[in-house]
Amino acid sequence: MDLETSEISNYKSSAVLSKLASNEQHGENSPYFDGWKAYDNDPFHLVNNLNGVIQMGLAENQLSVDLIEEWIKRNPKASICTNDGIESFRRIANFQDYHGLPEFTNAIAKFMEKTRGGKVKFDAKRVVMAGGATGANETLILCLADPGDAFLVPTPYYPGFNRDLRWRSGVQLLPISCKSCNNFKITIEAIEEAYEKGQQANVKIKGLILTNPCNPLGTILDRDTLKKISTFTNEHNIHLVCDEIYAATVFNPPKFVSIAEIINEDNCINKDLVHIVSSLSKDLGFPGFRVGIVYSFNDDVVNCARKMSSFGLVSTQTQHLLAFMLSDDEFVEEFLIESAKRLRERYEKFTRGLEEIGIKCLESNAGVYCWMDLRSLLKEATLDAEMSLWKLIINEVKLNVSPGSSFNCSEVGWFRVCFANIDDQTMEIALARIRMFMDAYNNVNKNGVMKNKHNGRGTTYDLTPQMGSTMKMLLA
């Protein structure tokens, strides 16, 4: 019997590729990444493609890039590719060991202190480089766990964790279920329940991973919750990994509290079990620079992570530039203040626009996205209904927003929508599209019947073609 084309393809792959290369554990078979593909195939452009897909699935902070550009113009010596900086070219272009340039690691430690309000000190000797937060997360997991071991993770969580933490390490992620009834706050009861389930399944639990501020919720963990969580991990002798890559994106009170503050206050906590992941991708808007940081309070982890960092070093040219920039205290302080101000203004403008349309979001004070509540638009509270709504938004409204199920959310109907990676005009067009979609949707009951305002009779119709025509009207 002849094999189907897909079966032949899979057979050929398994014959020439390793099990790692040919498996499906990379996590990219997800609506989260499918939305990116839809954007890549038909990207919106204010001049060249007004009918394209607007990218609102990319968690980038592009609102203050002009401040960075102005600093670079004022400081040509920071680059080895200018007449002013060429004198450093030979030294920087030569091989450097994987400890990093001293001026760079010192500047990173100093920046971490500033983004945490100067309440804690960081030791430059504990700063380990990695290729972005992706590389930092994987490096840390490889230091802490063996294949088959598991980490507890509160839901909803960043979809990339399935790739970054699991694919090459072979570890498992055990969800800690958080609910909308208390605004998705992490409770010790939920942590204990997830831990017990893992124990009953004979899974070796090595740690708990937090994202603080949270992606996708845009919320921060309060001091009391952090203390309870650190006490739990300490009592069970498991690691606590805190992903703090959005530390400088907090734009409204309360202020961000780092896990570093908590362990400084509580001498009973075993610091060897506490680790921080940081980066410059979100705080400064430098995702392309691939600057990830592992910061551990455990000497053995630091030494091991530094050896592993040779697989994903930050280029010395990038280190050199950033050492200059992050050592400019006046600039960094002004940037952090202005960036928070712009994030706040954009968040308030966008969420106010959604609220006027009748869409609410989880109240948040950090990050570059909103956790949008579209539960009322579902025909039923099922994953299929959420996927149907998401496909309509992608294909007809032409917005790449990410469904909650791709974040392992325990409840359907929530969507993450990013607001800081687009300009003001594009944001207004996105809001206009959503407004038109809601107007059309509100005229249709959940059985697909549109009420006739003149005679009260209903006529069956397909929502998708109508949305296609309304999009044309919007962009005409």
**Long-range pairs for 107-110: beta carbons < 8 A, 24 or more residues apart:** 107/322, 107/323, 107/325, 107/326, 107/327, 108/278, 108/293, 108/322, 108/326, 110/326, 110/327
In contact, 119 and 274? CB cutoff 8 Å: no
Structure tokens at 394: 């992608």
Q: Would residue 80 show up in a list of annotated catalytic residues for this protein?
A: no
In a 10 Å sphere around its CB, with 0-12 CB exposed, 13-18 middle and 19+ buried, how is residue 351 labelled? buried
Give the Cα separation of 404 and 413 in Å (integer): 7
Q: Which residue among the candidates 80, 108, 245, 422 is catalytic per the annotation?
A: 245
Q: Would residue 164 show up in a list of annotated catalytic residues for this protein?
A: no
Please report, as a single letter, which amino acid is at residue 150: A
**Residue 26, CB-side half-sphere exposure with 13 Å CA sphere:** 9
In a 10 Å sphere around its CB, with 0-12 CB exposed, 13-18 middle and 19+ buried, how is residue 474 labelled? middle
User: Would you give the DSSP letter of residue 94?
Assistant: S
In contact, 271 and 263? CB cutoff 8 Å: yes
Q: Which residue among the candidates 243, 246, 373, 394 is catalytic per the annotation?
A: 243
Q: Would residue 158 show up in a list of annotated catalytic residues for this protein?
A: yes
239-243: strand order across its sheet: 127-131, 291-296, 274-279, 239-243, 205-211, 150-154, 172-176
Four-residue CA torsion sign, 11, 13, 17, 20: negative
3-class state of residue 206 by DSSP: strand
Structure tokens at 197: 């389930």
Can you give 392-423 as a three-state secondary structure string?
HHHHHHCEECEEHHHHCCCCCCEEEEECCCCC
Q: Would residue 243 show up in a list of annotated catalytic residues for this protein?
A: yes
Q: Which residue among the candidates 227, 282, 347, 373 is catalytic per the annotation?
A: 282
Q: Which residue among the candidates 32, 39, 158, 441 is catalytic per the annotation?
A: 158
Residue of 372, 364, 386 lying closest to 434 (CA atoms)? 372
Structure tokens at 380: 């039923």
Dihedral of the alpha carbons of 390, 349, 59, 413, in degrees to the nearest 10 = -30
Question: Which residues are known to be catalytic?
Answer: 158, 243, 245, 282
